[in-house]
Amino acid sequence: MSAPNPCILPGHLIRSYYQSVSGPIDSTYQLLWGTDTYSARPVKATSGTAAYVIGVAGGNVNFASIVNSNVTVATTVSGAFATLGTPLVGPDEVPKNPWAYLETPISVGSVTFTISGNPDIVTIGEFIVGEAFTLERPFPPGSERTFDARRTERNDTWGFIPAVDENAKSRKISTTLRVTQSECDNLEAMWEGQRATSLPSLIVPRPDRNDAWYGRLTGFSYRRLGPNDFEVPFNFEEHAMCRW
> What's the pLDDT score for residue 149?
52
User: Model's pTM, two decimal places?
Assistant: 0.90
Q: How many residues does this entry show for the chain? A: 244
CATH 2.60.120.260 range(s) for the chain read 7-134
| Dist CA 203 CA 71 (whole Å) | 20
> What's the pLDDT score for residue 150?
47
Position 107: which residue type?
A: S
Cα-based distances in Å from 56 to 13, 18, 99, 128, 241: 11, 9, 17, 10, 25
Half-sphere exposure of 172 (CA within 13 A, CB side): 13
**b/e burial code for range 179-191 (CB count within 10 A of at least 16 → b):** beeebbebbeebb
> What's the pLDDT score for residue 159?
39
> Class of the 7-134 domain?
mainly beta
Each of the 244 residues of the chain gets a pLDDT tens digit; together they read 567 689 999 999 999 999 999 999 999 999 999 999 999 899 999 999 999 999 999 889 999 999 999 999 999 999 788 899 999 998 888 899 999 999 999 999 999 999 999 999 999 999 999 999 999 998 887 666 666 554 434 444 433 445 455 556 778 899 999 999 999 999 999 999 887 668 999 999 999 999 999 999 999 999 999 999 999 999 999 988 887 8
> What's the pLDDT score for residue 154?
41
**b/e burial code for range 129-147 (CB count within 10 A of at least 16 → b):** bbbbbbbeeebeeeeeeee
> What's the pLDDT score for residue 157?
41
Question: 229-238 and 223-226 as β-strands: parallel, antiparallel, unpaired?
Answer: antiparallel
Q: How far does the chain reach from its first CA to its final CA, in angstroms? A: 24
> What's the pLDDT score for residue 221?
95
3-state secondary structure 43-60: EECCCCCEEEEEECCCCE
DSSP string, 157-185: TTSSSPP--TT-EEEEEEEEEEE-HHHHH
